[in-house]
Amino acid sequence: MEQRWQDALVARAQERLPAAVFRYFADGAGDGLTTAEAEQAWLRVRLAPRVLTDVSRVDLSSEVLGATVTTPIAIAPSSLQRLAHPDGELAMARAAAATGTLLCVPSNAGTLFSEIGDTGATWWLQLYVPEDRSLIEPVLERAAAAGARAIAVTVDAAGTRVRADLDEALDEEAAGYRLNHDDPALLGPPGHAADLGPDDLARVARLTGLPVVVKGVSRADDALRSVQAGADAVWVSNHGGRQLDRTVATAQSLGAIRDQLARDVPVFVDGGVRSGLDVLAGLALGADAVFLGRLPLYGLAAGGEAGVVEVLERVREELESALRRAGCTRPEDARGLVANQTNGP
């Protein structure tokens, strides 16, 4: 059997990375069950294609929180990208700009926000809220000034910083960790706030004037509470299985969350997405955009900016082919393709 391009990509990345760095990127929390189940959960989604439709032309362009992008495929934030490649987030941003892809930049980026903005990429800032809320103000100001289009507040990492159990420490200084922050207190304990609440969403919105996305939702009731608290969009995510092991796969929770919210509330998803067919499944379950996490990171490790572009183009090609075969000409046409295993679509 021919090796999947995704498996070959992971192998190339592993060859080029120190063992501790690769393990940090690849591993999940606890026994790694959530991380391992993520990809399989998308494989279990079943679709009921439409027929007798003209699919001679497929248009993947999408609008995400007011920004027009070439595809509903986006790049999720990943920490310590300069340990994957010396150009780190800058290479990722250039790849996003070259392909017209939405990029979410980690708040602990090793590249200045101003440099990311200069690439011309459409980008959001992912934000961890520290216990001392005042520490985020300069970070948000810099991101807004550099052209960030939204703030994705991570809500599923309360109290601790996420780390795989490593035999050796990673060189965060070499990664430029927290380059965009002023206060060294953000580098260590006490870490992320354990008392996140609605006021934090309102504060971020007030400080930036930007849309606020709540990232890290696994429950429909939490999704509704987030919107009621002022969130402009909900991002279904379990932190790549790196926070709480045995957390439900996002492919399993996405549909119920979409059904709980009004149609005009955007919903996004990540977690185990490895192909254009997975993206189609995410769109069919109700996502407005689907984020890739580890795949672009492995592309960065394997080939820098060009490696990320290759990943994005491959997944885009797979999505276009999958949409056509499913009888769809636009990403939004995928809504409703999921088959009821008993009664059909």
Give me the pLDDT at residue 39, please.
95
**Structure-token pair, residue 243:** 């926070």
Distances (CA, A) of 241 to 42, 155, 258, 297: 15, 14, 21, 16
340 falls within a domain: no
* CB neighbour class for 55 (10 Å; exposed up to 12, middle 13-18, buried from 19): middle
**Residue 46 maps to which CATH number?**
3.20.20.70
Q: For the beta carbon of residue 109, count every other beta carbon within 10 angstroms.
A: 31
Distance, in Å, from the CA atom of 337 to the CA atom of 177, rounded to the nearest integer, reads 42
User: Does the active-site annotation cover 239?
Assistant: yes
Residues 234 and 226 sit within 8 Å (Cβ to Cβ): yes
In a domain, 114, yes or no: yes
| Range list of β-strands (E), 156-260 | 212-217, 233-236
Decide if 219 is inside a domain.
yes
Question: 264, 260, 294, 340: which is closest to 65 by C-alpha?
Answer: 264
Instruction: Determine the Cα–Cα distance for residues 164 and 241; give it in Å rounded to an integer.
Output: 10
Q: pLDDT below 50 — which residues of the chain?
A: 1, 161-162, 164-165, 185-190, 341-345
The reported pLDDT for the residue numbered 115 is 96
pLDDT, position 179: 67
Instruction: For residues 157 and 162, give the distance between their C-alpha atoms in angstroms, rounded to a whole number.
Output: 7
Q: H helices within the chain, ranges in order?
A: 5-16, 19-26, 33-43, 88-99, 113-118, 137-145, 198-208, 220-228, 250-260, 276-284, 294-325
Judge whether 31 lies within some domain: yes
Q: Which of 85, 181, 192, 239 does the annotation list as catalytic?
A: 239
Total structural domains within the chain: 1
pTM of structure? 0.93
pLDDT reported for residue 157 = 83
Q: Name residue 312's amino acid.
A: L
| Residue set of the binding site for glyoxylate | 24, 128, 163, 239, 242
Binding residues for FMN: 126, 154, 215, 237, 270-274, 293-294
Rounded-to-integer distance, Cα 336 and Cα 338, Å:
5
Work out whether the CA dihedral 162, 164, 165, 169 comes out positive or negative.
Answer: negative
Dist CA 257 CA 276 (whole Å): 22
Range of the domain at 258: 5-331
pLDDT for the residue numbered 263 = 95
Let me know if residue 342 belongs to a domain: no
User: Cα separations (Å) of 271 from 51, 73, 111, 275, 282?
Assistant: 30, 13, 24, 12, 10
- Cβ atoms of 113 and 148 closer than 8 Å: yes
Residue 339, domain member (yes or no): no
* Residue whose token pair is 């207190």: 185
DSSP string computed for 19-75: HHHHHHHH--STTSHHHHHHHHHHHT--B----S---S-----EEETTEEES-SEEE
**pLDDT recorded at residue 3:** 74
338 domain-assigned: no
Q: Among residues 181, 193, 179, 215, which one has the least CA distance to residue 130?
A: 193
Q: What is the pLDDT of residue 344?
A: 39
Q: Is residue 294 part of a domain?
A: yes
Could you report the per-residue pLDDT of 156-193, keeping only the tens digit for each? 987 554 454 455 667 666 666 666 776 554 444 446 88
Binding residues: 24, 126, 128, 154, 163, 215, 237, 239, 242, 270-274, 293-294
